[in-house]
Structure 1
Amino acid sequence: MPRGQKSKLRAREKRRKAQGETQGLRDAQATATKEKKSPSSSSSRLGVITQRKSAARSRSTLKRPRGALSTTVSVGVSHPRSCKRANGKVEKKQRSSQAPSSTMQSRRDSLTKTTSMLVQFLMQMYKMKRPIMKADMLKIVNKKYRNRFLEILRRASFSMEVVFGVDLKEVDSAKHSYAIVSKMDLPNNGMVSRGRGFPKTGLLMNLLGVIFMRGNCATEEEIWGFLNKMRVYAGQRHFIFGEPRKLITQDLVKLKYLEYRQVANSDPARYEFLWGPRARAETTKMRVLEFLAKVNHTDPSAFQPWYEEAVRDEEERAQATVTLSDSSNATAIKCSKAMSSSSSHT
């Protein structure tokens, strides 16, 4: 094949890949925005709370997330003779209410599109490690929505947090500059592989949550059951997470965020996941629970048995810090006394 034709094909492939990533990012942002409005659907895409069977008895003690209850409207059947009159009234009502309803829907769609464009811009700046200025963000927002900038920014921040596991923080209120901070210190700004894809922190936080809620150890079947509900499948490349099996059984294991081991005495061999040492060092059960609660539009305390365990974990960590500090102080005092004694003998 001529060299010029090869370069054209490569350029076309790059454009196709970029378009695919952009569309995927739009879809993820739209899903997050939709789920922000409808909490009951959030478990199917972003933050599935996978509970242990043994905890089923305690469900009655958990707070039900707001908006999770579905309502049904019963429609009465009119007598045949009155159908025409009734239909005429309904049609009139529909015509009178259709216009404002469609206008409101159009506004919502435009707002969602604007939010999606802002998310794309912010994630691109994050990947390139470029400073984020309010003035630049305002250029992305349609002029007629400038007065709703804070609302759009909140929506964009929520989407980035639940999908990518990153927080948007204002770093200089005078200059109106912002920075995006990953919830965990994954390499390459959370992208794991240098210069490729999007941050994987959101997926990792979800996986740590599943492991925590499964008694701090989740089988491979449980992990894939959870991922499938997020529409992430083994062997099927995902626009954010890449090849998920490699990501969770190799990349995150190699980085020591996950531990992947064979279940004792299993034949044929079965595998399970635990928190890795870096996960234990960089986050806590409470932070993971707060993340899952936010995705599911509720409070951490709503997940009572795990909340209590997370509180105990926080207390143990605090006690360990105090003990370590006391030990360090005692060692320093001993060293100081030894040095004083040594200098007095000279």
Structure 2
Amino acid sequence: MPRGQKSKLRAREKRRQARQQLSDLVEAQPTESEEEEFPSSPSPSFEDVPQSSAATGTSSSLQVPGKVCSTTAVAASVSDAKFSEGATNQGKERPKASQGQETTEHWPKGPVDKKVALLVNYLLRKYQMKEPVTKADMLRNVIHRYKNHFSEILKKASEHLELVCGLDVKEADPNRGTYVLINKLELGCDEKPGDDGEIPKTGLLMTVLGVIFTKGNCATEEQVWEVLNMMELYKGKKDAIYGDPKKLITKDFVQEKYLEYRQVANSDPPRYEFLWGPKAYTETTKMKVLEFVAKIHGTVPTAFPPLYEEALRDEEERAQARASARARTAALARAHSWATARSFFCTK
């Protein structure tokens, strides 16, 4: 069997094992010994919050599948799919197969990793309710006796939320320890979190935008699905987080003008390609998308020199456009003031 094929098979098995472990982790109920470890507190623990209401049949908090927590699986799968071929020193930046296997074999098994899964669920619930969250909230309702591991738990949870959901965890007020979840898009394809109770899908959109950018600002449908398949997202197969991925990227994101989906010129039989839609250009930038791609690869944007230079040019063009717009606005304001003053004196 060719070496490359063996590598892909190992990666696929790695992801399968990791996802199964994570799924078992999230679904598992605390044992008696675990319950005894956590002291009771005046406020209800997040672990004690009912996940659904029998009376209403509605979810009282987000159901987070194990896949949400699989940052390792997401990063490995997207990297294996040759997300971009323009990175330098990727052999140094990306973990070797043996290192990745070690990561998935040892994660998650301990109570700290369980807290990561619970914190992901808790933060998503706060995002849906449009509520900020404090460090005290997280310690009291989720972390409990593992407060010495708070930074580690929050860091891992933040990584999962960023890569899978496209949400950034930001410290809004260091003095009060207040955190908020911000969609990676300026307005976001999830502008009204909480209306439908769904997990944000910005992570998938950023992934597709990244594929398009790294493929010369126009990616064939085959190139996009090569990456999505390595993330174990398939046409016609419903996903626990993203639902029908084909409908999401060829219809929903297209209707919302985040993506453009068109037939390749003169293709017979018809073939299709993706481009950024006008709303994507409005709500994000090439630099932000490149930062997302770099994070998936475990590196920095400068590791992709041609893409980084293009992203810098895009930033400069946007800055010039903003400056021109401000100058036009100022000129119109001055003209309006002059016309108003002239009209005032002419009536005298």
Higher mean displacement: 144-153 or 251-260 = 144-153
- Tell me, yes or no, if the aligned pair for 1:210 and 1:218 is still in contact at 8 Å: yes
Paired residues in the alignment total 287
SS in 2 for 1:239: coil
Which residue of structure 2 aligns with residue 44 of structure 1?
77
Asked if residue 66 in structure 1 is aligned to residue 93 in structure 2, the reply is yes
Which residue of structure 2 aligns with residue 247 of structure 1?
248
Deviation digits for residues 263-293 of structure 1 (CA, Å, limit 9, x no counterpart): 1222222111111111000000000001111
d(CA) in 2 for partners of 1:223, 1:106: 29
d(CA) in 2 for partners of 1:179, 1:47: 32
d(CA) in 1 for partners of 2:330, 2:310: 30
Which residue of structure 2 aligns with residue 186 of structure 1?
188
2:130 partner amino acid: K
Asked if residue 134 in structure 1 is aligned to residue 161 in structure 2, the reply is no
Deviation digits for residues 220-278 of structure 1 (CA, Å, limit 9, x no counterpart): 11111111011101111111101111111111111111111111222222111111111
1:174, distance to aligned residue in structure 2 (A): 4.1
- Tell me, yes or no, if the aligned pair for 1:249 and 1:260 is still in contact at 8 Å: yes
Which residue of structure 2 aligns with residue 218 of structure 1?
219
SS in 1 for 2:234: coil
Higher mean displacement: 163-172 or 298-307 = 163-172
d(CA) in 2 for partners of 1:137, 1:190: 24
CA RMSD of aligned residues (A): 3.1
TM-score normalised to structure 1 length:
0.73
1:46, distance to aligned residue in structure 2 (A): 7.6
* Structure 1 residues 49 and 282: CA distance shift in structure 2, 3 A: farther
* Structure 1 residues 18 and 221: CA distance shift in structure 2, 3 A: farther
Deviation digits for residues 186-224 of structure 1 (CA, Å, limit 9, x no counterpart): 344577x94143110011111101001111111111111
- Tell me, yes or no, if the aligned pair for 2:62 and 2:197 is still in contact at 8 Å: no
1:295, distance to aligned residue in structure 2 (A): 2.1
- Tell me, yes or no, if the aligned pair for 1:119 and 1:160 is still in contact at 8 Å: yes
Unaligned runs of 5+ in 1: 1-9, 36-40, 73-104
Bigger share in helix: 1
* Structure 1 residues 20 and 339: CA distance shift in structure 2, 3 A: closer
d(CA) in 1 for partners of 2:78, 2:107: 25
1:319 partner amino acid: Q
- Tell me, yes or no, if the aligned pair for 1:263 and 1:270 is still in contact at 8 Å: yes
SS in 2 for 1:138: helix
1:42 partner amino acid: A
1:239 partner amino acid: A
* Structure 1 residues 331 and 111: CA distance shift in structure 2, 3 A: same
Which residue of structure 2 aligns with residue 201 of structure 1?
202
d(CA) in 2 for partners of 1:150, 1:117: 15
Which residue of structure 2 aligns with residue 6 of structure 1?
none
2:164 partner amino acid: V
> How does 1:41-190 map onto structure 2 within 5 Å?
42-45=75-78, 49-51=82-84, 61-62=88-89, 64-69=91-96, 109-184=110-185, 185-189=187-191
1:321, distance to aligned residue in structure 2 (A): 1.2
* Structure 1 residues 210 and 199: CA distance shift in structure 2, 3 A: same
Unaligned runs of 5+ in 2: 1-52, 100-105
TM-score normalised to structure 2 length:
0.73
d(CA) in 2 for partners of 1:345, 1:19: 66
Deviation digits for residues 154-186 of structure 1 (CA, Å, limit 9, x no counterpart): 111111111111011223344433221111123
Match of 2:68 among 28, 40, 43: 28
- Tell me, yes or no, if the aligned pair for 1:190 and 1:199 is still in contact at 8 Å: no
- Tell me, yes or no, if the aligned pair for 2:62 and 2:125 is still in contact at 8 Å: no
1:19, distance to aligned residue in structure 2 (A): 12
1:179 partner amino acid: V
1:66 partner amino acid: E
* Structure 1 residues 223 and 256: CA distance shift in structure 2, 3 A: same
1:108, distance to aligned residue in structure 2 (A): 6.2
